[in-house]
Amino acid sequence: MEKKGKFDYILLETTGLADPGAVAAMFWVDADLGSDVYLDGIVTVIDAKYGLQHLKEEKPEGLVNEAARQIALADLAIVNKTDLVEQEALQELRDTVRSINGLVKILETQKSRVDLSEVLDLHSFDSKDGANLAEKLRLMKDSKPHLDKSILTVTFELDGNLSEDVLNIFVQNLLWEKMFHNKEGLPMTVIRLKGIVSLAGKAHQVMLQGVHELYELNELPQLWGDDPRINRLVFIGRNLDKDILQEQFTSTVVAQEKGA
């Protein structure tokens, strides 16, 4: 967290098994209510030697691997103790982290030595991240399931303007109602959601951001101008099916806007 108007930072460390999403949501809501503290970003630290071991732990049916969930929520992943593992093992860990969260930035350290400029001022939850997010989304690719096969990243893009009201209904049906299921009939659960969208009647780009069941739309300083209006969305979560998600999005949000 960072204090508004000043350069004071508060580092809130949760326990090893905690769900950082619930804590993040609390401070995210506080910022919207005018609190002096705002959420800057979620950072997770991964032990290079034992990280894969934790990610391989089998959980009872229906439960999420805590380590995988923390990576799924992270804006920044710090892989520490890289001097204790071979390059092959380190690469496997990198690939696993990327397979869970295709948006996360990875830093590699020894003895937790890290430049604070890489950790502070992430602005992962406000409009200052808009330009960086737009560039990230252009380069984003779907991830392939790795160790925890139920958690992965999917992304797609579509042209044109969207109805803000219909977009809200789609997001609420996805995050709140869990209405969408994959081919196996399992409900899709989104842990983290990010996107740049083009809303009808707005000249500026709009950032869509979500953590668990909390989401918001923020207008960005960037104008669309003469650029083609493209909606790029990234979903990180469990039991996600890109084809079904894109079909639902197209048949509801896009189709209703075209029919308006």
Model confidence band, residue 90 (pLDDT cutoffs 50, 70, 90): very high
Q: In Å, what is the CA distance from 89 to each residue of 29, 48, 53, 85, 202?
A: 39, 8, 11, 6, 48
- The model's pLDDT over 44-69, given as tens digits with 9 standing for 90+, comes to 999 999 999 998 887 777 677 889 99
Residue 226 token pair? 């003469």
> What whole-number distance in Å separates Cα of residue 231 and Cα of residue 161?
8
Determine whether domain 129-259 maps to CATH 3.30.1220.10: yes
Q: What is the pTM of this model?
A: 0.84
Please name the residues in contact with 259: beta carbons below 8 A apart, sequence gap of 6 or more. Answer: none
The percent of residues above 70 in pLDDT, for the chain, comes to 83
| Alpha helical stretches, state H, the chain | 20-32, 51-55, 66-73, 87-100, 130-139, 164-175, 242-249, 255-259
Residue 71 token pair? 């990576």
Residue 97 has pLDDT above 80, yes or no: yes
Judged on CB neighbours under 10 Å (0-12, 13-18, 19+), 256 is middle
CATH superfamily of 2-118: P-loop containing nucleotide triphosphate hydrolases (3.40.50.300)
Domain boundaries, the chain: 2-118, 129-259
